[in-house]
Structure 1
Amino acid sequence: MVTGERMNDELVLRIDGTRPLSAETVAAVVAVCDTAEDLGGHGRVIVHVSGAPQAPGAGGLTVSLVSKWERALRRLERLPSSTVAVAEGDCGGVALEALLTTDYRIATASVRLMVPLAAGATWPGMALYRLARQAARAAAVRRAALFGTPIEAQEALQLHLVDELTDDTAKALTAAAERGGALDGPELAIRRQLLIEAHTTSFEEALGVHLAACDRVLRHTSAGTAS
């Protein structure tokens, strides 16, 4: 099951990786993205993920549904709000895919990241793309992508696929909010995009975009000083 709810300044999304991708899954993520965008990036989105598919298969899936899901994840990945994931236990399927889109990832020591199997091979969705981008050349990622070998919690931490391991996820969420509270809205989204594009953009191509971002900050600072 995938559910979304609003709690004060936080939007909470819960994703159960044991459940297959469905139109309801897509709709729940889209609804959270709609609300976050309407709020202009204030607050944050907390994504609780757990569970992995119990058996190989892709029954009921269509390319159209997968495309809608990937577009919903892309919106989640580019929200003006900060996104924090909390992962527990086995984490595969839609849970893994959502986890890999978030800004900050808290996990328990029981976490195992699992690329699901379908038709006798690993599922070739965009989770493979994000795993490769975020932990390029890592042997654990190669084994996960090719053979479905789980990435254990300590490996995930070492590869920076998760940011911290903890037994107290509530305390970790509070600490994450304190660290990330100074920046939200368009400014956060701009910096996230600059980081993403740095992997594929030359210095010369990136310079203009970075200068534009610097100019935005200077204009904002000048306006604040003048007032």
Structure 2
Amino acid sequence: MSVEHGWSGSTARALEVDSAQPVTPSLVQAVHRLCDEAADAVLVLRLGGADEPSGRADLAIDVVGKWEQALRRLERVASATIAVVDGRCAGPALEVLLACDYRIGTPGSRLMLPLAAGEPWPGMVVYRLANQLGVATARQLVLFGAEITGRHAARLNLLDEVTDDPDGALAAQVELAGGVAGTELAIRRRLLLEAQGISFEDALGTHLAACDRVLRRTAAGVTP
């Protein structure tokens, strides 16, 4: 893990996840440490690799559960999360990608589901894909493990932008995200994540409470 500086006063903490890297307790701990050290920093996840993704035949189910908890924490952390993909994004790297707020890829990026025994992994990656893409769009990826290019991923909104200058795009996004109050960002993210699973009536109270927070901060002269 490293600290990155130089973006108009914004600070970002970074973690690299290689597509060929298996899910291990040390990887779970690394994600938790990143969240522990977030503070007001933007979190940058550098994802990818050139090798084939490793299988999961020897993975213990308790480690799977801990990995899913770490991803859920990353998904809800009170900091903006930005993923940068270069090369093949598969295995745990793809799972991390789907938990991030903003996703940058390169023309050579390729996305593929994690595999186990040569078949697509049926973990919460399936849940996230179905929620983010819809069942019809996610079907090819989930059922057959199709690999898609960065350009295709952008058309599906799995990547927010594809560029030949990922570092430049990252710097611009870190500067933009650094001006957003972390707690307020986390609240809006949670409202998005819950939107498809609850009714309008059940959601109304939570949204009104979030609006009230903004009005109170405005009245008090509090800015991000």
Please report the TM-score for the alignment, with normalisation by the length of structure 2: 0.91
Q: Is the 8 A contact 2:94 2:114 kept in 1?
A: no
Q: Is the 8 A contact 2:19 2:52 kept in 1?
A: no
Residues 165-222 of structure 1: CA deviation (Å, up to 9, x unaligned): 0010111012212333331221110000011111111111111001111111111112
CA distance in 1, matches of 2:27, 2:169: 27
Alignment partner, residue 185 of structure 1: 182
Q: Is the 8 A contact 1:19 1:53 kept in 2?
A: no
Matches within 5 A, 1:1-227: 4-8=1-5, 9-36=11-38, 39=39, 42-51=40-49, 54=52, 57-139=55-137, 141-224=138-221
Q: Is the 8 A contact 2:42 2:178 kept in 1?
A: no
CA distance in 1, matches of 2:3, 2:78: 16
Number of paired residues? Answer: 217
State the shift of 1:56 in Å.
6.2
Runs of 4+, deviation exceeding 3 Å: none
State the shift of 1:162 in Å.
0.4
CA distance in 2, matches of 1:92, 1:15: 10
What code does the residue aligned with 1:143 have?
Q
Give secondary structure in 1 for the equivalent of 2:37. helix
Give secondary structure in 1 for the equivalent of 2:221. helix
Q: Is the 8 A contact 2:81 2:100 kept in 1?
A: yes
Identity %: 49
Residues 107-161 of structure 1: CA deviation (Å, up to 9, x unaligned): 001111111321342111111111111111344x311111111022122101100
CA distance in 2, matches of 1:78, 1:116: 22
Cα RMSD between the aligned structures?
Answer: 1.7
Structure 1: segments with no counterpart, 5+ residues: none
CA distance in 2, matches of 1:56, 1:171: 31
